[in-house]
Amino acid sequence: MGEAVAAVDPWAFQAHPEVWALVAGLAGLWWYAMRRIGPTAVRDDEPVVTRGQAGWFAAALLTLWFASDWPVHDLAEERLYAAHMFQHLLLSFIVPAMALLGTPTWLARLLVGSGRGYRVVRALTRLIPATLIFNSVVLLTHAPFAVTASVENPLLHYGIHVLVVGSGLIMWMGVCGPLPELRFRMPVQMAHLFLQSLIPVVPAGWLTFAEGVVYKVYDTPYRMWGLTAVEDQQLAGVIMKVAGSTFLWAVIIVLFARWVERSQGDERARGIAPDRRAPEADVLTWAEVERQLATAPPAPQEPEHT
């Protein structure tokens, strides 16, 4: 009956108690960890969780709920591939980054451990593996057979969402992860995010310029807002290219500004004005060579042969 109503009214409410249970369960586990485990896991002079971390984690849960519940999930599964694309962008870019920013370091170490689990996480979150995993999931989840299967099988659809969020956590770990030793240096972070903006251009361009319907499962007689199936997938391609790339480049710009500010702060701390440094300061001179030779220990003498 609910599906029949949804076929006529795309905005008909559909309950998703599994989503409510998931969000409530994650919130309960996080609260328990902060209240019961955290006070015994940190030193007395350290906060269990900062206000910023609590805010980021709450935002992650709210975004997860918004992307997985009615009406976004139902429009994405039954009506518009553009809604499907918007949903996946939230689950791959926004939710993982917020969740990592909202996770205290002590909790991350507790979850990952120090043995095999830590070694696996460290191996997967390096630059090349993280890039390959994240972009492989992007390409797989936009393949026509995967889209059709996920729309026809709600359980598989939720499984794909788990895969998308997991790959997003792997990709973002080197940028904003709670384990400092796993974060890349800031220039590498910018290069890493730049790489993530390249490969999605392929499916985005494919969807935008395709002349026929790529995803037959979305070619239904019930159209929203007068969009044809081709226009729907073109809109999805624009969302993937423009919204996804804009978000990544916005983060890159923020990282670059912080990197410049930090570099200038380091120079001021060393007493070097960034705009007054001598251009030859980084060039090796003969005077420097002579100074190094003068301070070098004498070379050992070879024994004389009789």
pLDDT under 50: residue ranges of the chain: 1-6, 274-290, 292-293, 296, 299-306
- Does some domain include residue 5? no
Q: Give the number of other Cβ atoms within 10 Å of residue 217's Cβ.
A: 17
> Could you give phi then psi for residue 71, rounded to 5 degrees?
-95, -10
DSSP 3-state assignment of 181?
helix
The residues, any chain, with a CB within 8 Å of residue 58's CB and separated by 6 or more, are: 102
- Greatest distance between any 2 Cα atoms in the chain: 108
The residues, any chain, with a CB within 8 Å of residue 285's CB and separated by 6 or more, are: none
Question: How many Å apart are CA 7 and CA 223, to the nearest integer?
Answer: 10
R_g of the chain, CA atoms, integer Å: 26
> pLDDT per residue over 45-56, tens digit each?
889 999 999 999
- Does some domain include residue 196? yes
Owning domain of residue 162 = 12-269
- Does some domain include residue 275? no
- Does some domain include residue 302? no
CA dihedral 119, 122, 124, 130 (to 10 degrees): 180
Q: What is the pLDDT of residue 248?
A: 92
Q: Are the C-beta atoms of 136 and 196 separated by less than 8 Å? A: no
- Does some domain include residue 286? no
Q: What is the pLDDT of residue 224?
A: 84
Q: What is the pLDDT of residue 25?
A: 97
Cα-based distances in Å from 284 to 136, 138, 280, 306: 46, 47, 8, 43
- Does some domain include residue 186? yes
- Does some domain include residue 67? yes
Query: Could you give the number of structural domains in the chain?
Result: 1
Nearest to 166 by CA among 219, 121, 111, 216: 121
Question: How many Å apart are CA 101 and CA 285, to the nearest integer?
Answer: 46
The residues, any chain, with a CB within 8 Å of residue 287's CB and separated by 6 or more, are: none
- Does some domain include residue 290? no
Question: How many Å apart are CA 28 and CA 280, to the nearest integer?
Answer: 59
Q: Are the C-beta atoms of 213 and 231 separated by less than 8 Å? A: no
Q: What is the pLDDT of residue 27?
A: 97
Question: How many Å apart are CA 25 and CA 21, to the nearest integer?
Answer: 6
Q: What is the pLDDT of residue 271?
A: 63
Cα-based distances in Å from 176 to 19, 101, 104: 26, 6, 12
Cα-based distances in Å from 245 to 93, 194, 238, 240: 10, 9, 10, 8
Rounded to two decimals, the pTM is 0.82
196-201-203 Cα angle (round to 5) = 115
> pLDDT per residue over 119-135, tens digit each?
999 999 999 999 999 99
